[in-house]
Amino acid sequence: MDAARNGKEVTAVIELRARFDEESNLQLASRLQAAGAVVIYGVVGFKTHAKMMLILRREAGEIVRYAHLGTGNYHAGNAKLYTDYSLLTSDDALCEDVGKLFSQLIGMGKTLRMKKLLHAPFTLKKGMLDMIARETQFALDGKPAHIIAKFNSLTDPKIIRALYKASQSGVRIDLVVRGMCCLRPGIVGVSHNIHVRSIIGRFLEHTRVFYFLNGGEEQMFLSSADWMERNLDKRVETCFPVEGKKLIMRVKKELESYLTDNTHSWSLQSDGRYVRNTPTGNQNPRSAQATLLEKLGSPILTVN
């Protein structure tokens, strides 16, 4: 609103059907319009669930673009309670992709091929299925294959069947699923290579992260979407790559801390029960949230 009042061109896409936030979003839209911003309410028939921003600045006489993409909403209250990732980048390809998606949302552009961004309901589901299939093929070829994924819920039948096939082919699959999980892990001959855990701690786990070993050329993606039909087929969502070995390793280490949590984690059994993980023998208590809070709460964070 300050930018709009100061004469900057501001366009905001607001989803009025956001659960529990309908009234506040209407009020926010009115305030933005009063400040001079153009407010768009998304695409008819599809709920807009993507979280993104595109900023154009004039620097040294040239127009420079910055994109911000995240797994969580631009919501001050949730930011204090939820765990989320976001990426601020000036990468030309990603900025171009975000610009194309905004053009679609405001009705000024048709569906165009993206360079790096996967977006629902067009390419995200197929992209995820293709990457799972690629890990499956690596395993069939006798090569190491590993998938780590963290999200809120897993209910999409096609994704689940692809994960079962990957497990049967020898892919090691570690899932961190906070909420609903329609996949059954640990079934001999079906899902014996799949491990599912849920983290219940001080913060609500909200990140969507997808890691693929990819034959040693590791790939990492962050997304606004869960592996659910409603997200992948009926919403506008984004999924974007984390690039560069340092950033990939950072996110991977943080993912792995959830896999070794023995304080606030619960493991899903093949019969649908959840069993709480606790330290055994000489193990020290490990809490992923406490570890990350201590690390990320420090005033200076280095990327090793």
The answer to whether the 2-116 and 119-296 domains have the same CATH topology is yes
Residue 19 has pLDDT above 70, yes or no: no
> In the chain, what percentage of residues exceed pLDDT 70?
96
Q: What is the pLDDT of residue 125?
A: 98
- Token pair recorded at residue 200: 């219940």
Q: What is the pLDDT of residue 304?
A: 60
Residue 22 has pLDDT above 80, yes or no: no
| pLDDT tier, 303 (very low <50, low <70, confident <90, very high otherwise) | low
Work out the average pLDDT over 254-277: 98
CA distances from 182 to 161, 177, 196, 204, 206 (A): 11, 10, 11, 20, 18
CA distances from 35 to 6, 38, 39 (A): 9, 9, 11
Spatial contact of 185 and 191, defined as CB atoms under 8 Å apart: yes
Coil, strand or helix at 119? strand
Residue 272 has pLDDT above 70, yes or no: yes
> In the chain, what percentage of residues exceed pLDDT 90?
84
Lowest mean pLDDT among 108-112, 115-119, 137-141, 245-249: 108-112
* Annotated active-site residue in 49, 119, 206, 264: 49
Average pLDDT, the chain: 94
| Residue with the two structure tokens 């050329």 | 217
Q: What is the pLDDT of residue 24?
A: 83
Regarding the domain delimited by 119-296, which CATH topology (the fold level of the hierarchy) does it fall under? Endonuclease; Chain A (3.30.870)
Residue 14 has pLDDT above 70, yes or no: yes
Coil, strand or helix at 257? helix
Residue 112 has pLDDT above 90, yes or no: no
Q: What is the pLDDT of residue 222?
A: 99
Q: What is the pLDDT of residue 42?
A: 80
Q: What is the pLDDT of residue 296?
A: 86
- Token pair recorded at residue 256: 């792995």
Q: Which of 298, 295, 257, 262 is nearest to 277 (CA)?
A: 262
Chain segment 209-252, per-residue pLDDT in tens: 999 999 999 999 999 999 999 999 999 999 999 999 999 999 99
Q: Give domain limits for the chain.
A: 2-116, 119-296
Work out the average pLDDT over 144-153: 99
| pLDDT tier, 106 (very low <50, low <70, confident <90, very high otherwise) | confident
| pLDDT tier, 20 (very low <50, low <70, confident <90, very high otherwise) | low
Spatial contact of 54 and 102, defined as CB atoms under 8 Å apart: yes
Of residues 172 and 27, more confidently modeled: 172
CA distances from 183 to 92, 153, 206 (A): 38, 10, 19
| Rounded Cα–Cα distance for residues 222 and 150 (Å) | 10
Q: What is the pLDDT of residue 248?
A: 98
Residue 192 is a catalytic residue: no
Q: Max alpha carbon distance in the chain (Å)? A: 64
- Token pair recorded at residue 120: 């629902």
Q: Which CATH number fits domain 2-116: 3.40.50.620, 3.10.100.10, 3.40.50.920, 3.30.870.10?
A: 3.30.870.10
Q: Left (φ > 0), alpha (ψ -120 to 50) or beta: where does 61 sit? A: left
Q: What is the pLDDT of residue 75?
A: 86
| pLDDT tier, 299 (very low <50, low <70, confident <90, very high otherwise) | confident
Q: What is the pLDDT of residue 302?
A: 64
Chain segment 25-58, per-residue pLDDT in tens: 888 889 999 999 999 988 888 999 999 999 999 9
DSSP-derived letter for residue 40 is E
